Amino acid sequence: MKCVRCSKEAEYVLDGSSFCTEHFKEAEGKKPKTDSLIAEYEVLNEYVHKREDGTLLANSIIISATLFVVTFAIQNRNNLGMSFFFNVPIAGFIPIISTVLIFVLYFLWGTSSAVDNVCFGRIHEIENILHIEGTGYVLKNVENKWWYGPRRNLWHIVFILFIGVYLFTAIWLFRQPLL
C-alpha cells in the first residue's frame, strides 16, 4: 500500500489512512487531539498532587493537635476533675473527641484516594493513547518492590494506630481514679 501523501511505501495506518514514516509523523503531530490530551494530562497530574499536598498538610496539623491535647489531658487529668453527668474523669473525653477527628480525617483521606484512583485511571489512558510512559512506568517499576505495599498502606497504619492509642488512653483516663 502506498502513502496517501506521496508515492513511498506506507508503513503506518492512522485513522484509516496509510502513511510512510515521514508523513505518519507529520499527520500524527497535526492531530489536534494530542495537544488537548497533554493539557488534560497536566491538569489531572496537578489536581492529584495539589490534593495530596493538602491532605498531607491537614493530616499533619490535625494529628499534631490531637497529640498535643491528649498529652494535656493525661498531664492534667486530676485538675480537669469529674464529669457531673457521666461521673467519669473529664480528661477521658479529650481522646474520645480526638478519635472522632482522626476518623473524619481517615474518611476524607479514603475518599480522596478514591478520587485519585479515578484520576490515575484517566492518566494511564492518556499515557496509552499518547504512547508515553509516566506514572505507568513508575508503577511498573515499583509495584513488585517489597516496600510498595507498606508504603501504600502507610496512612491506614498511621490512622489505625492513632485510633487504637487514643481509645486505649480514653479507657485508661475514664477508669483511673483521680487523686
> In the complex, which residues of this chain contact Zn ion (CB under 5 A)?
3, 5-6, 8, 20, 23
Smallest distance from Zn ion to CB 6, Å: 3
Nearer CB in complex with Zn ion: 6/13: 6
Between 8 and 50, whose beta carbon lies closer to Zn ion? 8
**Cα-flanking dihedrals φ and ψ of residue 161, to 5°?**
-60, -50
Least gap, CB of 2 to Zn ion (angstroms)? 8
Report DSSP letters for 52-112, one per residue: HHHHHHHHHHHHHHHHHHHHHHHHTHHHH-B-TTT-SBGGGHHHHHHHHHHHHHHHHHHHH
Nearest CB to Zn ion, comparing residues 20 and 90: 20
CB 109 to Zn ion: min, Å? 53
Residue number closest to Zn ion, CB atom: 3
